[in-house]
Amino acid sequence: LAKTTQPISMDSYEGQEVNITCSHNNIATNDYITWYQQFPSQGPRFIIQGYKTKVTNEVASLFIPADRKSSTLSLPRVSLSDTAVYYCLVGDNRWSGGYQKVTFGTGTKLQVIP
Amino acid sequence: GAVVSQHPSWVICKSGTSVKIECRSLDFQATTMFWYRQFPKQSLMLMATSNEGSKATYEQGVEKDKFLINHASLTLSTLTVTSAHPEDSSFYICSAANREASVETQYFGPGTRLLVL
């Protein structure tokens, strides 16, 4: 299982773009990168998933360099409601008859300031 | 889409009793479901992997006789905490793997808060 390293915490003002980087130096060829958001006393919520280059959806963008040893979650124009813990997970998500387990790291606690 | 529910959302019980938590994938079928435990201000810790129709695979240090897992169908997995004690008080979260094209993604339930008195 690929180990991930993220900053423990980040602060940002409302309206700014926030970039959270995750390091995963021993990512395997078949591993995907998935980001989740968790609010206190709630289950993690899926944000975005990617394998390489750039992925964008309605809430975030995910940038993955060519060597795939890191990834960056970009949240455009954050609001107070984006204050949460963000987790980066790396694992083999290919459909091969059984989902492979992943390990949660410490996550990044994002505090959005008014 | 890809909604996972848990029931109950919170439970308080006396020490020595058993508690069952249900995890359902509402709009997709999940061959694999996972159970996690999360203590305050900590990350999620995987307890076991549950595959439909077969025995669960437990992580090291998790007592399989204490945390009984049953994955009876492609949309339902249950976790039973047997003879619960105060140290079992925690936030229990399940997830289900949803297959989209050739990739599977974990979707999480809202969690169940267990307090053992």
Contact A105 B43 (CB under 8 A): yes
Instruction: List pLDDT tens digits, range A50-84.
Output: 999 999 999 999 999 999 999 999 999 999 999 99
- The residues that bridge with A20 in the sheet, in sequence order, are A73
- Find tokens 């990739």 and name the residue: B103
Cβ partners under 8 Å of residue A27, min gap 6: A2, A33, A68, A69, A90
- What pLDDT, on the 0 to 100 scale, is given for residue B101? 73
- The residues that bridge with B49 in the sheet, in sequence order, are B34, B57
Whether residue A1 has pLDDT greater than 70: no
- CA dihedral (A79, A84, A87, A93) in degrees, to 10, reads -70
Cβ partners under 8 Å of residue B40, min gap 6: none
Q: For A60, how many CA atoms within 13 A lie in the half-sphere containing its CB?
A: 23
Minimal CA separation from B100 to chain A, in Å: 9
Strands (E), B2-66: 4-7, 10-13, 19-25, 32-38, 45-51, 57-58
Count CB neighbours of B102 within 10 A.
9
Minimal CA separation from B107 to chain A, in Å: 7
**Confidence class of residue B19 from pLDDT cuts 50, 70 and 90?**
very high
Among all residues of chain A, which has the CA nearest to that of B35?
A101
**Confidence class of residue A98 from pLDDT cuts 50, 70 and 90?**
low
Query: Average pLDDT, stretch A28-51?
Result: 94
* Secondary structure letter of residue A81 according to DSSP: G
- What pLDDT, on the 0 to 100 scale, is given for residue A30? 86
Whether residue B99 has pLDDT greater than 90: no
- What pLDDT, on the 0 to 100 scale, is given for residue A94? 63
Minimal CA separation from A15 to chain B, in Å: 27
Nearest C-alpha neighbor of A22 from the set A66, A77, A73: A73
Query: Average pLDDT, stretch B13-18?
Result: 97
- What pLDDT, on the 0 to 100 scale, is given for residue A9? 97
* Secondary structure letter of residue A74 according to DSSP: E
Q: Which of A36, A87, A95 sits opposite B104 (nearest CB)?
A: A95
B-chain residues near A102 (CB < 8 A): 106
Instruction: List pLDDT tens digits, range B22-76.
Output: 999 999 998 889 999 999 999 999 999 988 888 899 999 999 999 999 988 999 9
Q: Which of B6, B95, B103 sits opposite A93 (nearest CB)?
A: B103
Contact A43 B49 (CB under 8 A): no
